[in-house]
Structure 1
């Protein structure tokens, strides 16, 4: 009898060089796709914030104008960014500014990239002849937002 044991061949462990290269290529292609998707999302992530700022500025200005008294005749509005001397709706006709300012004319640095313009025109709203159509337009780099509101002479 043979006292020597027969050695069984061990199964090989690990992987070969071509398998390692293939794994590196597959992982690299997958990472490239994921990073490209993240880059696209990151580039466009500020757009909703700018749009929301534009909507907020337009709504604030439209509400400010609609709260002013109705005026039959147009007045000459002072030039500049300040709106504290505007005493009726028609004073806002032709108002425009690059950048956004408070009512008393103080520029808001965080909104310097926005431009605002306002038109006020006579119109008829639902059979009411004494109505003014207020159009507020806010511009940013390549984007324009327009809100339209009405003010009627309901007091007379």
Structure 2
């Protein structure tokens, strides 16, 4: 036989199989790592959605000098202008809860210190499949902010922790603005 018609020798074939085997092992290990961690983005995105929803709920509440049940809530320019119920504490008033239709949280500062294990909607109903998540809210005075005097702005921080201790923190500012809401 001439050298042009020769095939592969057994040694060349074995070397080829070993090289291809090593390459395939490397590629499969990358795929395996991706498959094991592919659920992480779902947990992260769910935690982000929960944090966004809770932050939006908090920032949508009024930030007033008076409690929303006070007669002067829309006109008071300081806590001294309240008829009876000034909104001074960074905590809910007695009897207020997030889950009550009769006495719900009615001001941004009522959410300070709020925490829940297992996600619950504002009506108090557990959200299916979100019992592995925890959420907490902190509200604190922001001080002077972009030309707005101190005492007129609150800094709200929402932290949500999901399965595997994946944590998401979102923050926002809430200022008082006309007509005092």
TM-score with structure 2 setting the length: 0.70
Asked whether the 8 Å contact 2:141–2:153 carries over to 1, the reply is: yes
Q: Would you say 1:45 and 2:68 are equivalent positions?
A: no
1:4 maps to: none
Structure 2 distance, partners of 1:45, 1:117, is 26
Task: Give the SS at the match of 2:152.
Answer: strand
* Residue 130 (structure 2) aligned to one of 101, 108, 111: 111
CA RMSD of aligned residues (A): 2.3
Asked whether the 8 Å contact 1:99–1:113 carries over to 2, the reply is: yes
Distance 1:83 1:21, change over 3 A: farther
2:154 maps to: 132
1:122 maps to: 141
* Residue 101 (structure 1) aligned to one of 105, 120, 126: 120
Q: 5+ residue gaps in structure 2? A: 65-86
Distance 1:124 1:38, change over 3 A: same
Q: 5+ residue gaps in structure 1? A: 1-8
Q: How far did 1:57 drift?
A: 1.0
Q: Which structure is higher in strand share?
A: 1
Aligned residue pair count = 147
* Rg comparison, structure with higher value: 1
Asked whether the 8 Å contact 1:136–1:147 carries over to 2, the reply is: yes
* Residue 68 (structure 1) aligned to one of 57, 61, 67: 61
Return structure 1 stretches of 4+ with deviation > 4 angstroms.
9-13
Distance 1:147 1:125, change over 3 A: farther
Larger RCO: Structure 1 or Structure 2 (Cα < 8 Å, ≥ 6 residues apart)? Answer: 2
1:88-146 deviation digits (Å, cap 9, x = unpaired): 21221111011211111111232222110011223324233222221111112233222
Q: Would you say 1:82 and 2:105 are equivalent positions?
A: no
TM-score with structure 1 setting the length: 0.80
Structure 2 distance, partners of 1:10, 1:77, is 99
Q: Would you say 1:149 and 2:164 are equivalent positions?
A: no
Q: How far did 1:44 drift?
A: 2.2
